[in-house]
Structure 1
Amino acid sequence: MLLGNMRVLFASLLFLTTPLVLAQLPQCSGTDDAEYDYVVVGAGAGGGPVAARLAENGYSVLVLDAGHDVHNLNSTIPLYFIRATEDPQLDLSYTLNEYPPDFPVKKDNQWYPRSRGLGGSTLHNAMVNVIAATRPDFDGLASMFNDPTWSRDSMQEIYKRIEHNLVLGLPLPLEHGFKGWLKVSLNPLLDALNPKYLDAQILALAAGLIAEAPPIVDLNSRVGDNAVGGTLVTYTIDENHNRSSVRERLLDVHDGNPGKLTFQLDTLVTRVLLCNNTEGVPTAYGVEYAPNAALPVALNFNGKSDLQTKTVKAKREVIVSAGVFQSPQLLMLSGIGDSTHLQEHGIDTIVNSPGIGQNLQDHDEIAVIWKMKQNFSLLDGCTFGSDPEQDPCLKAWRDEGRANIYSFGPAFQTFTYKSDPGYQDPDILTYIVPGYFEGFQGFPELGTSPSNRNAVTAINLKVRPSSRGSVRLTGSHPQDLLSIDKMHFQNERGPQDVRDLREAVKRSRKIMNNLLTKPFIKEEVFRANKRKAMRLLSSMFTRTFLVTMHVVRIPWVLMEMSMPF
């Protein structure tokens, strides 16, 4: 669910020691005629902040992106993230395969949305602001590159530079930043005297959750990085109860630094331009791009065509930050990748770099859903509509300081814990959400349906799973679809991932069945009337039943092991 916190890596040139240069390149002739110091491909969470910081420091920067600038209710109102994933102005509808062809469970062509345009996926993510349990990741990078600036402790300083924390009374203020561009806040305090908010059911839920685990002092501090317990979540929401995203950062820098930051939107970058420097090393000096061309996963795509391309040069660097899927595609189309794979599609190999498009990783998520005995009064009258005159909650958000239920981020409480006591760091994050979430496809309808106003979902997220997938070409045209394979549970530690997810389900059930909350629960629902169990004959999952359901970023999997849940 947590699109903004998605942990996906692919092996790039950094992971290779001695890439083999094959094709001949022209000699670099200088960049005196270049229009920009830097060319950045991608205006999302990676490219956007880099471009903004370069422009602030006086460099001229061109940012190219396949989307356009979108500013609407879905990209602005926090709780409308429910609608944002299927907003046709934002949506990139990728499909991927969860398992290999010979796996007993078929999960092919699964929908996996990303967002395009100025701000990228920061326009549609759930705004959850959590950097806990990342020490193994960052310290691992520091060790890999023998560079301490990648360490978790160093990242805290970078986080402080970015963060503009709006929370009053922080217990560890030295761990936070207060002058950055990314606004961070808690869900707003609502009028306790309003009868609408005096909901015994939600008060019991809140009290029960707080009592279920020791409190974590600060989830986004070095102290709380490997803490086990429960806490409130902060969100990337500003003081006016709007989403805080990379879009605002880019526009602020654009307006405050005239002539330094240029946007080339609705543009498909087709190739990185390369030449040999004086030492014979391939060097990027610009990109080739096609204006008004769309990605094949965008809703405005009208089929492949002969693209009319242009080129632009960079005096200093080309920065490829087009996302986990488009970045490897762009490199491979440019002749950087596994030479055998490139030859299959008639692409001349410039750098034989087999790691490009490999090592695809993501979190695993599994949900448990309960229906309470009554609807939550917080959502009374809310239609999640677009007309304030037809939706009293939208009207209140617009006219009454915006501090109402539409100002909220999704999670009521967050828990971190270790599914195995032997683990050094927490590996499970559990978000308790007062709403119905069984996957992103269809989420705008199911998540806002009046019939689901009494739902509570525990979203269990497994960090650092063992799965390793790939992004591969299907052709040499920039508008060819990609072949994306997640390869879930295929690593030797796959069975352990299954056990960890199973423990996460058990743990979330224990959390919800506390003494204060249990009397208000009507039933647990997990689409039980629709799920179809399949016995896996593979020795890897002996006596295991795997029940699958789609979630957009990862498979939703309910593992019913031989022992009782």
Structure 2
Amino acid sequence: MATSCDFEVDYVIVGAGSAGSVLAHRLSAYSEHQVLVLEFGGKDNSLFIQMPTAFSIPMNKPRFDWGLYTEPEPGLKGRRLHQARGKVIGGSSSINGMAYVRGSAGDYGEWVEHGAEGWGYAEVLPYFRRAEDCLYGEDDYRGSGGPLGVCNGNNMQNPLYRAFIEAGRQAGYGESQDYNGFRQEGFCRMDMTVRGGVRCSTANAYLKPALGRDNLRLEMHALTTRVLMDGRQAVGVEYRRKGRVQRVRARREVILSASAFNSPKLLMLSGIGPADHLREHGIEVVHDLPGVGENLQDHLEVWVQHRCLRKITLNGWLNPVGQALIGARWLLFKKGLGATNHFESNGYIRSRAGLQYPDLQYHFLPGAIAYDGSSAAEGHGFQVHLGANKPLSRGWVRLASSDPEAAPTLVFNYLQEEADRQAYRDGLRLTREIFAQPAFDPYRGEELTPGPHVQSDAEIDDWVAGSAETAYHPCGTCKMGTDAMAVVDPHCRVHGIDNLRVVDSSIMPTVTNGNINAPTIMIAEKAADMILGRPPLPPSEAAVFAPDDWQQSQREGGPERQA
């Protein structure tokens, strides 16, 4: 290595976010390993982070958010979407909506089809279970005693939550006993990463309990600028902290857990990526790896809102007195409306016949409020967040400059594929059928958004293009696999480079059907065993829901199959 280093450790982990915190905990559990974690953000001791109901506040604060925006998106009428990413220990798990969704078994079958051998549902389920401390107890699908607290918030005390589940059942989709268990498809109570009324980020669950170990060192406010290379071997990293450039040597490995935006950015700054693009920015090409930064995916959401005929919604609390009462009860007891993200029921359905697994996701909210808290309907209302979760459109992350402090260029190409637009047309019409069920008769007022005037395909397309927002699920930019555009192999090792791995949401070949924080944590749990050279956990033998089995059961008058 041409440059000298200030100190040495065994493992350097770049990013103390959803994946990096898990790795810090697991790798430092062995006292012989010296582990350094570099995090650009700072502490997470703000009550706006720790109070679950306040999640919209930190995601809009420069202190906690990277402040990234997309380029103008053609499919969204040229709008630039804010891509909130956590700039704090715990990363995006410290500013997200805390929804805990593993995805369907079919999602992981897709990963295997893309060359990610060993990442099928049977292989990943044991790592979900290892991570989890589920309030509902342990079974073949759920874990207990793990670092990550999972619960339902306030146990659906508002009757609108139950009405949503019942409406889904009445519409013919069925009720799942556990969408993170045997059967995702159907309507169910929703999980969140909350423990004791407090956000259970990976900082709280994994990182902080490990910081007392002598072999784990955390450097906050540290901007990693590049991976140090000796030929095609990663030997350390360079970073800036408090105005000083420092270099650390990694005796074993460098691990990038810097997000779907910053992990590919760091690879490119280090000379690993599409050769022509690197040369455009004057970066010496160490390894031409064309897939770096490509394959960018995300979920969009639209909100279908109705006025509520009864004064039982969250809108009644959106005043200074109501918010003060919520905050006081949470501060004193860690209970009440402050102890939940308010998404306590959800649903997963197929947008059309012929699909084996669900592709539409619903989060139900007993209020008519923008996800980021920026606006709310007058009076009382409720809404469902509709997401078409298996998009075919793909974008990219590229360098805007060779300056490590420059934000990357983000282009998602949302809704560029006709199938993605059709999924929202189908989804809106199915959503209206669900809200029309008898379960909502006591509550359902007029449709506020998109409004009854939006009916034709063209009108739906126009509404979605003008109102859809990101669900904050970027992934795929360092995809795992074996084809020419793959960046890492099924052991998370960067193709063509020794001693360098990527472990975060960027390695997902395809986005899962749901929020991606749970899969990101699972990725890090599984990768930790790979890094440590431990054998993988034995594959699960738990059964998986097959839609044809359930339909046959219904025809025969039998109960829903449960494992």
Q: Pick from 304, 313, 336: which aligns with 1:368?
A: 304
Matches within 5 A, 1:250-399: 250-255=207-212, 257=213, 259-276=214-231, 282-292=232-242, 308-376=244-312, 383=319, 391-399=324-332
Q: 1:200 to 1:495 in 2, by over 3 A?
A: closer
Matches within 5 A, 1:442-521: 443-446=372-375, 452=378, 454-490=380-416, 494-521=417-444
> Does 2:11 match 1:38?
yes
Q: Pick from 128, 131, 147: which aligns with 1:181?
A: 147
Q: 1:458 to 1:554 in 2, by over 3 A?
A: same
Asked whether the equivalents of residues 469 and 485 of structure 1 are also in contact (C-alpha less than 8 Å), the reply is: yes
Output the amino acid matched with 2:144.
F
Q: Pick from 1, 9, 21: which aligns with 1:48?
A: 21
Output the amino acid matched with 2:388.
K
Determine the C-alpha separation between the residues in 2 that align with 1:73 and 1:502: 40
Give TM-score, length-normalised by structure 2.
0.76
Identify the residue that residue 534 of structure 2 maps to in structure 1.
none
Q: Pick from 225, 230, 247: which aligns with 2:203?
A: 247
> Does 2:85 match 1:153?
no
Identify the residue that residue 347 of structure 2 maps to in structure 1.
415
Runs of 5+ unmatched residues, structure 2:
474-563
Aligned residues: 469
Q: 1:308 to 1:27 in 2, by over 3 A?
A: closer
Identify the residue that residue 110 of structure 2 maps to in structure 1.
140
Determine the C-alpha separation between the residues in 2 that align with 1:111 and 1:99: 12
Provide, for residues 136-195 of structure 1, a one-character-per-residue CA deviation record: whole Å limited to 9, x for no partner.
Answer: 3322333444632x1111111001110011125x7xx222111110001122348xxxxx
Q: Using the TM superposition, give the Cα deviation of residue 516 of structure 1 relative to its aligned residue in structure 2, in angstroms.
A: 3.0
Q: 1:335 to 1:247 in 2, by over 3 A?
A: same
Output the amino acid matched with 1:416.
Y
Q: 1:201 to 1:322 in 2, by over 3 A?
A: closer
Determine the C-alpha separation between the residues in 2 that align with 1:506 and 1:86: 32
Provide, for residues 188-242 of structure 1, a one-character-per-residue CA deviation record: whole Å limited to 9, x for no partner.
Answer: 348xxxxxx7x77777566545644411122112x21xx431111111110x211
Identify the residue that residue 298 of structure 1 maps to in structure 2.
none
Give TM-score, length-normalised by structure 1.
0.76
SS of equivalent residue, structure 1 residue 175: coil
SS of equivalent residue, structure 1 residue 317: strand
> Does 2:334 match 1:402?
yes
SS of equivalent residue, structure 1 residue 121: helix
Output the amino acid matched with 1:175.
Y
Identify the residue that residue 194 of structure 1 maps to in structure 2.
none
SS of equivalent residue, structure 2 residue 439: coil
SS of equivalent residue, structure 1 residue 46: helix
Q: 1:411 to 1:87 in 2, by over 3 A?
A: same
SS of equivalent residue, structure 1 residue 176: coil
Matches within 5 A, 1:523-562: 523-526=446-449, 547-553=465-471
Asked whether the equivalents of residues 97 and 109 of structure 1 are also in contact (C-alpha less than 8 Å), the reply is: yes
Q: 1:544 to 1:151 in 2, by over 3 A?
A: same
Identify the residue that residue 192 of structure 2 maps to in structure 1.
235
SS of equivalent residue, structure 2 residue 47: coil
SS of equivalent residue, structure 1 residue 82: coil
Identify the residue that residue 90 of structure 2 maps to in structure 1.
119
> Which has the larger Rg?
1
- Worse-matched range after superposition: 136-145 or 36-45: 136-145
Determine the C-alpha separation between the residues in 2 that align with 1:286 and 1:109: 36
Determine the C-alpha separation between the residues in 1 that align with 2:161 and 2:295: 42
Determine the C-alpha separation between the residues in 2 that align with 1:396 and 1:413: 23
Identify the residue that residue 38 of structure 2 maps to in structure 1.
64
Q: 1:376 to 1:324 in 2, by over 3 A?
A: same
Output the amino acid matched with 1:241.
G
Output the amino acid matched with 2:427.
A
Determine the C-alpha separation between the residues in 2 that align with 1:94 and 1:200: 38
Q: 1:329 to 1:176 in 2, by over 3 A?
A: same
Determine the C-alpha separation between the residues in 1 that align with 2:117 and 2:452: 53
| RMSD, aligned α-carbons | 3.1
Determine the C-alpha separation between the residues in 1 that align with 2:162 and 2:120: 40
Asked whether the equivalents of residues 70 and 89 of structure 1 are also in contact (C-alpha less than 8 Å), the reply is: no
SS of equivalent residue, structure 2 residue 211: helix
Determine the C-alpha separation between the residues in 2 that align with 1:143 and 1:205: 35
Determine the C-alpha separation between the residues in 1 that align with 2:472 and 2:15: 23
Q: 1:130 to 1:266 in 2, by over 3 A?
A: same
Q: Using the TM superposition, give the Cα deviation of residue 435 of structure 1 relative to its aligned residue in structure 2, in angstroms.
A: 2.1
Determine the C-alpha separation between the residues in 2 that align with 1:347 and 1:177: 46
Q: 1:525 to 1:432 in 2, by over 3 A?
A: same
SS of equivalent residue, structure 2 residue 55: helix
Identify the residue that residue 63 of structure 2 maps to in structure 1.
89
Determine the C-alpha separation between the residues in 1 that align with 2:457 and 2:434: 28
Output the amino acid matched with 1:517.
F
SS of equivalent residue, structure 1 residue 360: coil
SS of equivalent residue, structure 1 residue 91: coil
Determine the C-alpha separation between the residues in 2 that align with 1:54 and 1:261: 9
Q: 1:132 to 1:337 in 2, by over 3 A?
A: closer
Q: Using the TM superposition, give the Cα deviation of residue 43 of structure 1 relative to its aligned residue in structure 2, in angstroms.
A: 0.6
